[in-house]
Amino acid sequence: MEEGFAEGKTIRYLVEDETRLGLKTQTGKVITNAGVKPIAPVSWKRDNFWIYGVLEPLSGWHFTQEYPHLDSEHFQQFIDALSAQLGEDIAILQLDQAGAHVTTALRWPENLIPLCQPAHSPQLNPMERVWQFIKAQLTGDRFCQIEPLRSRVQQILEDITPERIQSLSSYDFILEALFYAASH
């Protein structure tokens, strides 16, 4: 008798994306009294780093790592680390079509199956909402050096609960597809 695909293994659906964070102050809207214009110092320094992240909409599980750049070398390191985190599990990994993701130089681990979303469609990737949530926590904060920013971002990442990840990433179309797949 032939063995089925991934027989005896857990198959997971994950989404992946990256974001750049740096010393340039995150600006945004704030609520104030009528006629009051908030004033906040803004830094325009361009020193930055990248957070690569993956999440599982069904469980709220997430995994992130910091890298100095977005490129295929660092993406390879990230997917290798993700593969190790997953152990025996197999993951279908939704990602955009950034050059670092689609280069033939990548060596995809056996337990990761890439699934590219259509080009220029970040609205299909729930990881984008997690990045928005993180950046909202930084709105108005001014960092003069990169290390305090790193520490603050790390604290935000540590404080994000699986329930928060689920609330940010549980798009109806993803959940419906996963429930349909599980029932058939």
Residue-wise pLDDT tens digits, 42-68 = 555 678 899 999 999 989 999 999 999
Q: How confident is the model at residue 89 (pLDDT cuts 50, 70, 90)?
A: very high
Q: Is 36 inside any structural domain?
A: no
pLDDT of residue 172: 77
Of residues 143 and 156, the one with the higher pLDDT is 156
Q: In what order do the strands lie in the sheet with 112-116?
A: 62-67, 48-55, 11-22, 90-95, 112-116
Boundaries of domain holding 63: 11-27+43-179
pLDDT in tens, 92-134: 999 999 989 999 999 999 999 999 998 888 888 999 999 999 9
> How would DSSP label each residue in the chain?
-PPPTTTTS-EEEEEEEEEEEESSPP-------TTPPP---------EEEEEEEE-TTT--EEEEEESS-SHHHHHHHHHHHHHHHTT-EEEEEE---HHHH-TT----TTEEEEEPPTT-GGG-THHHHHHHHHHHTTT---SSHHHHHHHHHHHHHH--HHHHHHHH--HHHHHHHHHHHH-
CATH for 170: 3.30.420.10
- Kindly tell me if the per-residue pLDDT of 6 is higher than 80: no
159: in domain: yes
Rounded CA separation 99/70 (Å):
9
Per the model's pLDDT, the better-predicted residue between 178 and 94 turns out to be 94
Band of pLDDT at residue 171, cut at 50, 70 and 90: confident
Lowest mean pLDDT among 31-40, 56-65, 79-88: 31-40
Domain contains 5: no
Query: Would you state the pLDDT for residue 36?
Result: 79
Identify the pLDDT of residue 25. Answer: 53
- Residue 85: inside a domain, yes or no? yes
Residue 4 inside a domain? The answer is: no
Per-residue pLDDT at 1: 36
Residue 26's pLDDT is 59
Mean pLDDT of the chain: 87
> Does 32 reside within a domain?
no
- In this predicted structure, the answer to whether residue 184 has a pLDDT above a threshold of 50 is yes
The answer as to whether 37 is a domain residue is no
Q: Is residue 33 in some structural domain?
A: no
Q: What is the count of structural domains for the chain?
A: 1
